[in-house]
Structure 1
Amino acid sequence: MPFATVRHEALLTEIHTDIDKIDRNRWDALERPSVYLRYDWLRGRSQSVRGEPRFVTVSGPGGQLLFGAPAFLTGDGAHPAYDLGKVLTMEELDVGDLTELPDARESLTRLRADATPWHPAIVAGSPGRMGGAAYAAQLDGEGRRQVAAAAAGALEQRADADGAAHVAWLYLLEHHDPALEAVLAGRGYRNVVIGADAYIPIEFDDFDGYLAQFTSHRRVSARKEIEAFDQAGISVAVHDADVLGPRLAELELSWRAKYGRAADLDDTVAGYQSLQENIGDALRVVVASRAGEPIGFVVFLEDPDTWWARFGGFDYRDKKTYLYFNLVFYRPVQLAIERGIGAIGYSMGSYEAKHTRGARLRHFMGYLSGVAPDSPTARDLAKVDDAQRRKLESVTRHRVLRQAGS
């Protein structure tokens, strides 16, 4: 039966510096917002954050786990997605986007000028650029607020002990967790849009239904991309985690090189092995082949009725088959319809390409402690928040989906 109140003195709040010391079954019994809070994912991928674990849990009477959230102490050497100073540079926001917002341009310039005030920080968020917290199923809204408040307070105390001036809850989906958002707002955290999560809701009975949602002009473009792929003799199949190996790693390195991200083949294969060992049961690897040779792949995490796109690789020598768009969007949508998957998540970046293929955008929020309400930094964050919202709204303003009734 849901309960609204938990005696504060009956709550046990703990900060864990080693995930192996957290009981896997207790953690996974919590209701999580995404696969990124699954224990095996956190155990297998936390090292990629390049921070020191500060996982927070709240337990109730009898030792039942009521709340859990991953967090890390991070600084200069952290992955850019968890280095608070780098997150606040808002790299997706181009100064050129702000020609009509001179105040926001100046605010962004100041935020980018000096990362020192943001180091070190305790950053709450999961590997893979996804935030959120997991709760016991029986907690109602008030119960969630109580355990979230206990967790927030514990991280703030630990930040003081660690010499960190800020606690940041990153990659929270806006309006997704009202309890946590209310707690953080009540504790004086400043919030700012740090990006968006792109996702395609699978609301169609068949692939024709997916195409029918687009304007006629966009449908023509989509069919052209699909037909070029279909006529190129390319086959597509879904594999389990065992297919990940050196050949697909070479394709991933090609993808990374295209965007200036260097990686090592052996390290990439080792990363595959870690995924196979820790969360292989959730991996769905969509592979495109021609004449028996892989030419592209995308890895999705399934949990339980959502696919989350993680990474992929592509042979970019073939320019005429629209390999990327078919393998990332069109074929996964077809597969999701066939398998009863409810949504496909595509995370951050390339918003226009994702939106023109049916993706909606929802804001990723950052909540920051240690920023005084009327301080220059608070004003800068507010101006940049407005600029981010305007930029993302401008993406969806391009009408590619039919209006209701049209």
Structure 2
Amino acid sequence: MILTLVPDIRDIPPSRWDALSAQAGLYLSHRWLAAQQRDPTARVHYALVQDDGHLVAAAPLYVVDTEPNDLYRVHELLPGRAPARTLLAGARRGYVNAPLLHPRLTPARRREALGRLVTAAATLATAEKAVPWWLYVTDEAAAELADACGTKPVQLNQDARIPLPGTTFDDYLAALPSKRRVTIRRERRAFAEAGYERRTLRLSECADTAGALAAQLQARHGHPADPAVMAAILRDQAEGMADSGVVHAAFTSRHMVAFSLAYHHAGTVWLRSTGYDYARLRGAHEYFNLVYYLPIEDAYTHGATALHLGMESLRAKVLRGATASPLWAVEGG
């Protein structure tokens, strides 16, 4: 097996990369990583492991110069860790991560390929005087990666997704307990009767307004955010993701008062962002409709089989049918 480092993911054919990343999720896809590559707060290299000319393993390696997101600062995530320069292996945004390994590798070849990725991360970290970490690693990959690194995984949080059986929203409801079905029907009815105009938009059509609403949500939860900065992030995301996001929006007259942003990837709808104009909401369970029910309807329309919801607010997610799995931190050796 041959290990190489490539500085630009655009030099790697998307089909070759996504043959490895399809099951790992949106945040390790070629398109998402290419969009994140312009982030000036880190320098990225892509570790590629090839066997007889075939790409069999890969991982982005981020040398972090400045980390604006406290949920990716290791010393704030793990008690007792002193601030140190960090090399983040794998996805740096999105809170879902795993080393990319070809599914057809034999167990022995899989261990060898993973070992090459771990060595690449450790070697680059040493050269950069950094500590290598894999953050938010999925439950399936954590033990395997920890064994390769010779360290113990530490649980950070839990990831949530709603499996979507059948082909319609009624099939989703049928899988829930009867009391929960009654609650969801009531929440959907209240939203329908609130008089909102529902629109489905491209992100490029509403990035500025969505950024302002997302900033209101952040402020409400104790994380002050500049609406202009949030809007710029969404504009960049629209450009980097070829405007492939789906925005579900609720309007009152000329005002967009609530939205959610999601992406379709590999049979799953990935919820990415949401926001609200709290002064104009009508108390009609807007959050649950924008974050759960409208994306679920959209998922069924496009044949998706799951809605990925990510971390936080786990109880509300489980009550609406989500399954949770641990997310881990693994020191990279």
Q: TM-score, normalised by structure 2?
A: 0.89
Describe the SS at the equivalent of 1:70.
Answer: strand
Contact 2:268-2:306 at 8 Å conserved across structures: yes
Q: CA deviation at 1:46?
A: 4.3
Measured at CA, do residues 185 and 297 of structure 1 come closer, stay the same or move farther in structure 2, by a change above 3 Å?
same
What's the counterpart of residue 376 of structure 1? none
More strand per residue: 1 or 2?
2
Q: CA deviation at 1:72?
A: 1.7
What's the counterpart of residue 137 of structure 2? 172
Higher gyration radius (CA):
1
What's the counterpart of residue 60 of structure 1? 51
Q: Does 1:307 align with 2:263?
A: no
Describe the SS at the equivalent of 2:76.
Answer: helix
C-alpha distance in 1 between matches for 2:156 and 2:18: 30
Residues 13-42 of structure 1 show CA distances to partners (whole Å, capped at 9, x for unaligned) of 2344x3357424365343211121122211
Q: Does 1:272 align with 2:272?
A: no
Residues 255-275 of structure 1 show CA distances to partners (whole Å, capped at 9, x for unaligned) of 122122233333223222221
Counterparts of 1:7-406 in structure 2 under 5 Å?
A: 11-16=1-6, 18-19=7-8, 22-25=11-14, 27-32=16-21, 33-46=24-37, 50-62=41-53, 64-74=54-64, 77-88=67-78, 111=79, 114-116=80-82, 119-126=84-91, 127-136=93-102, 138-164=104-130, 166-175=131-140, 177=141, 181-317=143-279, 318-369=281-332
Describe the SS at the equivalent of 1:363.
Answer: strand
Contact 2:248-2:259 at 8 Å conserved across structures: yes
Structure 1 residue runs of 4+, over 6 Å off?
none
Measured at CA, do residues 71 and 326 of structure 1 come closer, stay the same or move farther in structure 2, by a change above 3 Å?
same
C-alpha distance in 2 between matches for 1:83 and 1:54: 20
- Aligned-pair RMSD on alpha carbons? 2.5
Describe the SS at the equivalent of 1:203.
Answer: coil
Describe the SS at the equivalent of 2:97.
Answer: coil
Measured at CA, do residues 181 and 366 of structure 1 come closer, stay the same or move farther in structure 2, by a change above 3 Å?
same
Measured at CA, do residues 239 and 355 of structure 1 come closer, stay the same or move farther in structure 2, by a change above 3 Å?
same
Residues 126-185 of structure 1 show CA distances to partners (whole Å, capped at 9, x for unaligned) of 121121133346534433222111111121122222223x3221111112x4xx743531
Unaligned runs of 5+ in 2: none
Output the amino acid matched with 1:133. Answer: P
Measured at CA, do residues 42 and 23 of structure 1 come closer, stay the same or move farther in structure 2, by a change above 3 Å?
same
C-alpha distance in 2 between matches for 1:29 and 1:20: 12
C-alpha distance in 2 between matches for 1:304 and 1:85: 34
Q: TM-score, normalised by structure 1?
A: 0.74
Contact 2:47-2:61 at 8 Å conserved across structures: yes
